[in-house]
């Protein structure tokens, strides 16, 4: 059984008979109604009451419907309102294009059959209900990730403390030394995964703040390489780093940028077969520093490249190669952190088995600004 959506409709029309007819029609359909005769009044009512949908006439005595729509979309509180613009049939097609490109969800030409108008409003309200449900689901997911990461972190502290006691113990049997090394590696992997979960949840909830300062690219990359050095040496990879002559100054959060390049390096280490080659090259291009990471790993197909920076996405051949390789959030975190620094990141590959290339572009800090 279909239940018709309910909600509040703001009707904006400077013609009283037309406004009355629309209001009566909406009330008969079981909807609550607000009325405005001017653009300014429409903006005020929309901000105060946050209606579910705005029926917006184009011709208004103060500001036209195009401008009302633009202002509603520009404000965070009203940006998600459903907006249906209505105009007389003599309006030209370019007005429809202007309305839709300006933020309207739908553009109707008057006169409109009453049943069509009601059906259109109900359809838009159903879409709004679905959008709300998606946003609520997304919010709960972010909260779940944050709680999960915190709860998983709690038992890690005593585990690491116990491992430290093992480290200090003398005359351990070889089998125990080997077991301790395995436990240390796996605990470090758990810490990294949980930290990524925490970072993603903070970014999604707009709770992550960058602590920017003047730093150099060399310092950032050195920290990233140091984090990944055990994995690089353990896999027998050859790493080459080539930087421009002289320091490259950045105004950035050095910890977060080190995390960016650390994640990229970690991916290259994991998905490159033993005795592989990894290179980090940085070149200056105008006001940007371009850092390119290349590996001789398993590469990616065209479809994988399209989704490589999406959360919880891993290519099947990558996950099968490296069991326990992660949750598929490392590259999503990389992209968000780079964008927060005013930069961009892209991925390239000539195909499966032919290596991968990641390119990070970041704005540099000029000497005068420093």
32 vs 52: CA distance, rounded Å? 10
DSSP category for residue 342: T
Taken in order 51, 52, 57, 62, is the CA torsion positive or negative? positive
Question: Distance between CA atoms of 23 and 80, rounded to whole angstroms?
Answer: 22
Say which residue the tokens 């309207």 belong to: 104
* DSSP helix/strand/coil, 51: coil
Is the C-alpha dihedral spanning 68, 71, 76, 80 positive or negative?
positive
Q: Report the CATH fold assignment for 213-363.
A: Heat Shock Protein 90 (3.30.565)
- pTM over 0.85, yes/no: no
Give the Å distances, CA to CA, from 193 to 42, 133, 198. Answer: 49, 29, 9
- Give the right CATH number for 8-133 from 2.30.30.240, 3.30.420.40, 3.40.50.2300, 3.20.20.70: 3.40.50.2300
**Per-residue pLDDT at 56:** 93
* Cβ atoms of 92 and 107 closer than 8 Å: no
Q: What digits encode the pLDDT tens for the residues 144-181?
A: 777 777 777 788 888 888 888 888 888 888 888 888 88
Quote the pLDDT of residue 173: 86
pLDDT tens per residue across span 338-353: 999 999 999 999 988 8
| Distance from C-alpha of 370 to C-alpha of 366, rounded to nearest angstrom | 6
C-alpha span between 242 and 348 (Å, rounded): 20
What pLDDT score was predicted for residue 323? 45
Percent pLDDT > 90 in the chain is 47
């Amino acid at each position: 059984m279909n239940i018709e959506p309910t909600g509040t409709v703001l009707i904006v029309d400077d013609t009283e008979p037309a406004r009355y007819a629309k209001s009566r029609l909406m009330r008969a359909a079981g909807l609550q109604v607000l009325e405005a005769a001017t653009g300014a009044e429409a903006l005020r009512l929309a901000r105060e009451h946050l209606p579910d949908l705005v029926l917006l006439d184009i011709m208004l005595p103060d500001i036209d419907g195009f401008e009302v729509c633009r202002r509603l979309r520009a404000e965070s509180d009203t940006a998600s309102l459903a907006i249906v613009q209505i105009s007389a049939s003599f309006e030209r097609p370019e007005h429809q294009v202007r309305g839709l490109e300006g933020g309207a969800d739908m553009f109707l030409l008057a006169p409109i059959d009453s049943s069509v108008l009601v059906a259109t409003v109900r359809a838009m309200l159903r879409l709004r209900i679905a959008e709300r449900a998606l946003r609520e689901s997304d919010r709960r997911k972010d909260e779940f990730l944050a709680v999960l990461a915190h709860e998983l972190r709690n038992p890690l502290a005593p585990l690491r403390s116990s491992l430290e006691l093992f480290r200090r113990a003398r005359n351990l049997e070889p089998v125990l030394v080997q077991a301790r090394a395995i436990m240390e590696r796996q605990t470090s992997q758990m810490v990294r995964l949980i930290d990524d979960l925490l970072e993603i949840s903070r970014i999604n909830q707009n709770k992550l703040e960058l602590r920017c300062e003047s730093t150099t690219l060399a310092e950032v990359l050195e920290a990233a390489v140091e984090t990944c050095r055990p994995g690089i040496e353990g896999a027998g990879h050859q790493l080459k780093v080539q930087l421009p002559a002289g320091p490259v100054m950045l105004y950035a959060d050095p910890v977060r940028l080190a995390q960016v390049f650390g994640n990229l390096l970690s991916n290259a280490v994991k998905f490159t077969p033993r005795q592989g080659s990894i290179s980090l090259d940085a070149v200056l291009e105008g006001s940007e520093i371009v850092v390119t990471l290349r590996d001789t790993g398993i590469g990616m197909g065209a479809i994988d490249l399209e989704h490589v920076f999406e959360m919880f996405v891993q290519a099947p051949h990558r996950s099968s190669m490296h069991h326990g390789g992660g949750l598929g959030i490392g590259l999503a975190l990389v992209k968000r952190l780079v964008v927060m620094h005013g930069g961009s990141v892209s991925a390239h590959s000539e195909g499966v088995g032919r290596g991968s290339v990641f390119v990070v572009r970041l704005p540099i800090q000029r000497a005068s600004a420093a």
